[in-house]
Amino acid sequence: MLHICAVHNARFRSAPRCTVLGNPLRDVRRQRAVGVACSSHPWLSAVFTLLMAVCDIAFVGAGSVVFTRELLFDILSMPELRTASLRLYDIDAERLQTAELMARRVAEQVGAAPEVSVHTELDSALDGVDFVINAVAVGGHEATRIDFDVPAAFGLRQTIGDTLGIGGIFRALRTFPVLDQIATTMTRVCPDAWLLNYTNPMSMNLSYLAARHPCVNALGLCHSVFWTVSDMNNLLGLPYESTVYEAAGVNHQAWLLTWEHQGKDVYPLLDAAIDADENLRRRVRVDMYRRVGRYPTETSEHSSEYLPWYLKSDAEIARLRIPVGAYLEISADNLAEYQRTREELLAGAALVPPDATEYAPQVIHAMTTDTPRQIHATVANHGLLPQLQTGLGVEVPTLIDGSGAHPKAMGSVLPRMGAALNRSFLNVVDLVTAAAVEGDAALVRQAAYVDPNAAASLTLPVIDEMVSAMITAHSQRLPAWLR
């Protein structure tokens, strides 16, 4: 492993990590399975491609049952992945049992035959796997309530609190130790595996992984770009299947750079729809689009708390219909959905297939079967977006195939104001990442000082008090250097 890292880091200085690091484990399996036979009998290649598609997938945080259900339906509905090995890992025994019941029920419903196993030790869950899907939520609903209630007591409003701002900062700080555990274990027991991260805050998490664990293959996956295009196409009456698009920026604050339907620019249709509909104009992302010039790829609820102009103002909250504290209700609904799902499983009821499109199944399928597919993913910025800070997590179009992940070097394509907003976003990411890497608590406070929403809403002394209160409230979930 030391030799692999030495070679990789030499390349990493001049190219994106995921571009140069493929999947040696799968290459070995391919060679063993196909051998010389396929060179003399090409028709065997198709047969062996199907056989080679058997892979080992670990779910870390499998007890995030609603999300795990979506992934399982997608994965097990793909013919090439129906016999995959599914390793389910969680620290909550009841949720782990529920995840196992769900995996077996989904397999039964879609006619798949996976090998399902449950694990309470991370080493056994990850040993020799090809993919690790991370969906942990450290502290769960209780921690989410703290992320909202403590800042609210100091006069700070939040909507989602999982990406930037005070909520995002402290979500990252309690998640980084888990990422350390996952990455260290992967380096030891599955060094060629891919970590497919869904846990927020995405840019902070991928920035931290790149800084602390550069030899780990990691992609940050989020469906926000897909759903932005899908929803806006529905609004405009355009089929998604005939649409070509690319976005770039940072996760939850990327910009839809190109958007074409049957070769024609869709933006003029969006402009006409906005001009004709006052309700559309009363949304944060539309307000931003009309100023930045490209449409943001995350909801108005998310977008409002990454900027300095909205949540501090009662008038703007009313004008743009911003749902302050929205994620508290979402988090509570997730708890209720978990209970409903568990009761359905225990009663033997069939699960309703979700209306979801997630990237992890597409990544696994593309890498396993060598079927090229483009997604949008978060990776460390090394020459991908020169307008943004080097080494931090950015979201760009990424080609996935049998040799790995290939992020696209986009050049200086971001709208100038969009790039400026992204840099402001990444200033917070940079300070939080550095704080954790260096074990420097002062940098946590500095991250809060430069956060756009906190800086616009509170004075520096109040921010100091709020950070201290957050450290106290979250103390048992935070690393020792911060407590």
427 Ramachandran zone, left/alpha/beta (phi>0; psi -120 to 50): alpha
C-alpha closest to that of 329 among 202, 169, 161, 139:
161
Angle between helix 65-76 and helix 326-346 axes, rounded to 10 deg:
60
pTM of the model: 0.90
C-alpha closest to that of 431 among 204, 159, 243, 275:
204
pLDDT digits (tens, 9 = 90+) for 341-373: 999 999 999 999 887 778 999 999 999 999 999
Q: Determine the pLDDT at residue 67.
A: 86
Partners of 87 in the β-ladder:
58, 117
Q: Inform me whether the pLDDT recorded for 442 exceeds 80.
A: yes
Instruction: Please report how many Cα atoms fall inside a 13 Å half-sphere around the Cα of residue 144, on the Cβ side.
Output: 21
SS3 52: helix
The CA-based diameter of the chain, rounded to the nearest angstrom, is 74
Strands (E), 35-130: 56-60, 85-89, 115-119
The DSSP 8-state label assigned to residue 120 in this structure reads S
Tell me the pLDDT band of 43, cut-offs 50, 70 and 90: low
Q: Is the CB of residue 171 less than 8 Å from the CB of residue 252?
A: no
Q: Determine the pLDDT at residue 29.
A: 40
Question: What's the count of helices (H) and strands (E) in the chain, helices before strands?
Answer: 23, 13
Q: Is the CB of residue 116 less than 8 Å from the CB of residue 100?
A: yes
Q: Inform me whether the pLDDT recorded for 315 exceeds 90.
A: yes
Mean pLDDT in residue range 118-139? 97
Q: Inform me whether the pLDDT recorded for 382 exceeds 50.
A: yes
Alpha-carbon span 212 to 465, nearest angstrom: 30
Q: Determine the pLDDT at residue 42.
A: 52
Q: Inform me whether the pLDDT recorded for 374 exceeds 80.
A: yes
Q: Which of 119, 223, 302, 365 is catalytic?
A: 223
Q: Determine the pLDDT at residue 17.
A: 37
Q: Determine the pLDDT at residue 258.
A: 98
Annotated catalytic residue 119: no
Alpha-carbon span 231 to 346, nearest angstrom: 35
Q: Is the CB of residue 65 less than 8 Å from the CB of residue 338?
A: yes
Buried b / exposed e over 140-170, threshold 16 CB at 10 Å, is: beebbebbbebbeebebbbbbbbbbbbbbbb
Q: Taking the CB of residue 427, how many other CB atoms lie within 10 A of it?
A: 17
Q: Determine the pLDDT at residue 292.
A: 98
How far from chain centre, in Å, is Cα 225? 11
**In whole numbers, what is the pLDDT of the chain averaged over residues?**
90
- Could you give the percent of the chain with pLDDT greater than 90? 86
Q: Which of 47-56, 167-176, 270-279, 313-322 has the lowest mean pLDDT?
A: 47-56
Q: Is the CB of residue 205 less than 8 Å from the CB of residue 179?
A: yes
Q: Is the CA virtual torsion 266, 267, 268, 269 positive or negative?
A: positive
CA dihedral 264, 265, 269, 271 (to 10 degrees): -160
C-alpha closest to that of 395 among 225, 222, 210, 249:
249
Partners of 130 in the β-ladder:
none
CA dihedral 64, 69, 71, 73 (to 10 degrees): 170
Mean pLDDT in residue range 219-223? 97
Q: Determine the pLDDT at residue 59.
A: 98
- DSSP-assigned letters across all residues of 271-316: HHHHHH-HHHHTSHHHHHHHHHSSEESS-HHHHHTTSSSSTT-HHH
pLDDT digits (tens, 9 = 90+) for 248-305: 999 999 999 999 999 999 999 999 999 999 999 999 999 999 999 999 999 999 999 9
pLDDT digits (tens, 9 = 90+) for 79-91: 999 999 999 999 9
Q: Determine the pLDDT at residue 179.
A: 98
